[in-house]
Amino acid sequence: MRCSIGVDIGHTNIRAARVADGVPTEVRKERTDVPGGPESVLEQARRLIAELSGGDRLPVGVGIAGQCDSAQGVLRCGPGFWWPDMPFRDRLSAAVGAPVVLRNDVVMATVGEWKHGAGRGVDDLVCLFVGTGVGGGAVVGGRLLEGASGCGGHFGHVSVQMDGPVCSCGRRGCVEVYAGGSNVEKRARLALDGSVLKEMSGGRPGSITCSMVAEAAERGDESSLRIRDEMAAALSSGVASIINSLNPARVVLGGSVMFGFPELHSMVARGALEQCLRPAADKLTIERSALGDLAGTVGAATMALEFYG
Ligand SMILES: [Zn+2]
């Protein structure tokens, strides 16, 4: 049995797990201290790794919500999008006294699904995770897509509407603008009048969450259903473009926001298959994430073993 530690640092939560041959044996989860800045998040990660290692010097994989220079181990743009370039990998490695591999969080989740989840057994895989933001990863011809500067797979920034709303990246109409959790909440706050969300939130727009929007949609609330349908349309269009570009054998859809809306997965799968090129769909199946919230930690731990096991 080979053990390693996987850490998944998201905008909202940090998860860490001790993983043995792809199976998490001990898991920790807490809020990411984004307001505390990079030093505080580094300390959070160090503490969780120390707790889970129990004195063993285990290789560590870290996935983080941001863009990473994987060769240099530098975080180019971290949670909250205001961290300066930071040598996160080497700083953490020195702090825990063990080797560390660093990648984008959804790239790590893609590794998790590929090796131990819904993407097992295929050499051409696309994963799309819908959470606070929308991220992705891909395996092409049996190799993880990393890109020339470690930036491959940012499928949330595929634009599906050239004149759409402005995204956090500066472009218009990205998939993330319509389907990312924080943008869904923003859109719901702007459409409060006449919605059951007004009653559910006690009239406080700031308290509206994605799960409230999902629940309101289940109750037949028109503005929430419109938001869900726009999410499905944007995701379907984006996924169809990715299928046409990469011709995967399997697409895995996951993330807390994707799972929060019960019908979203089947709407996106149907829409993407209708829109993509016929030959690109010949060998394609579209599946749900098998590892759920732990895909990132399992993937990070798996990559740590591949590099340093
Ligand atoms: Zn964007």
Share of the chain above pLDDT 90, in %: 77
Same domain, 105 and 221: no
Split into its structural domains, the chain has a count of 2
Q: Would you say residue 103 has pLDDT above 70? A: yes
CA of 229 relative to ligand 1 center, distance in Å? 20
Mean pLDDT of the chain: 93
Same domain, 302 and 282: no
CA of 289 relative to ligand 1 center, distance in Å? 23
Same domain, 186 and 172: yes
Cβ-contact 256, 291 below 8 angstroms: no
CA of 286 relative to ligand 1 center, distance in Å? 24
Q: What is the pLDDT of residue 79?
A: 58
Same domain, 126 and 274: yes
Q: Would you say residue 81 has pLDDT above 60? A: no
CA of 202 relative to ligand 1 center, distance in Å? 32
- Where helices occur in 70-118 by DSSP H, the ranges are 88-96, 105-116
Q: What is the pLDDT of residue 12?
A: 85
In 3D space, the residue among 101, 112, 100, 176 whose CA is nearest the CA of residue 144 turns out to be: 112
Q: Would you say residue 176 has pLDDT above 90? A: yes
Containing 175, the helix (H) or strand (E) segment is helix 175-179
Same domain, 270 and 128: yes
Same domain, 138 and 57: no
Confidence of residue 78 (pLDDT cuts 50, 70, 90): low
CA of 176 relative to ligand 1 center, distance in Å? 6
* Residues spanned by the domain of 85: 3-111+293-308
- Here the CATH number for the domain that contains residue 279 is 3.30.420.40
Domain presence at residue 116: no
Q: What is the pLDDT of residue 115?
A: 97
Same domain, 43 and 165: no
Q: Would you say residue 80 has pLDDT above 80? A: no
Q: Would you say residue 77 has pLDDT above 80? A: no
CA of 172 relative to ligand 1 center, distance in Å? 7
CA of 171 relative to ligand 1 center, distance in Å? 5
Domain presence at residue 224: yes
Same domain, 107 and 176: no
Compare 205 and 19 and report the one with higher pLDDT.
19
CA of 231 relative to ligand 1 center, distance in Å? 15
Q: What is the pLDDT of residue 188?
A: 94
Same domain, 106 and 152: no
Cβ-contact 255, 265 below 8 angstroms: no
pTM for this predicted structure: 0.93
CA of 238 relative to ligand 1 center, distance in Å? 12
Cβ-contact 144, 123 below 8 angstroms: no
Mean pLDDT along residues 104-120 = 96
CA of 247 relative to ligand 1 center, distance in Å? 23
Same domain, 203 and 153: yes
The phi, psi pair for 198, rounded to 5°, reads -65, -45
Q: What is the pLDDT of residue 61?
A: 98
